[in-house]
Amino acid sequence: MRFNPRLVLAMAGFLIAHFLLPYAIRWGSAWESQAHPTPAEVELNGKAYNGLLSHDGNGTLHLTDGSGHTLLSFQASDPATVNYHPHPDAMSPLPDWRRYLPFVLVAGVALLCCVPTLLWFARRLFTRRRPPPAS
């Protein structure tokens, strides 16, 4: 069997997409959440806390006051009631670039790994084959 670098690149692209895209989605969501925390009221163990709610990459939720001091940190599995308040400024889709950038970068790398194989396959699929010369 002959070594085919296009096949190795395509497999690398598939592995990158399969294993890294879920992490890119999680990282982008955490990055956006930390850049633009959501105003919320959290009730945990009978006490109510008001502040800005964000989360990090491992699923820990952080409630902070306006100056950035952490009031409360808890896991999503903790028995807390979270009431989200409307965001004070109307958010346009443009500030959400942090959410999508890691996904776009990882998907772009995966796609670039697969492009040589896709072009090779398309060329072989759509190229007209010449009949063998008659003897």
Per-block average pLDDT, block size 10, for the chain (135 residues)? 84 94 93 88 88 88 88 83 74 75 95 90 84 76
DSSP state of 127: S
129 part of a folded domain: no
131 part of a folded domain: no
60 part of a folded domain: yes
Residue with tokens 């502040």: 51
**How far is residue 63's CA from residue 73's CA, in Å, rounded to a whole number?**
6
134 part of a folded domain: no
How many structural domains compose the chain?
A: 1
For residue 33, give its domain range: 5-88+97-124
**How far is residue 35's CA from residue 102's CA, in Å, rounded to a whole number?**
15
104 part of a folded domain: yes
Residue 129 sits at φ, ψ, to 5 deg, of -90, 135
The single-letter code of the amino acid at 59 is: G
135 part of a folded domain: no
130 part of a folded domain: no
113 part of a folded domain: yes
Residues 85, 40 contacting (CB under 8 angstroms): yes
pTM equals 0.75
CA angle 57, 70, 90 (to 5 degrees): 75
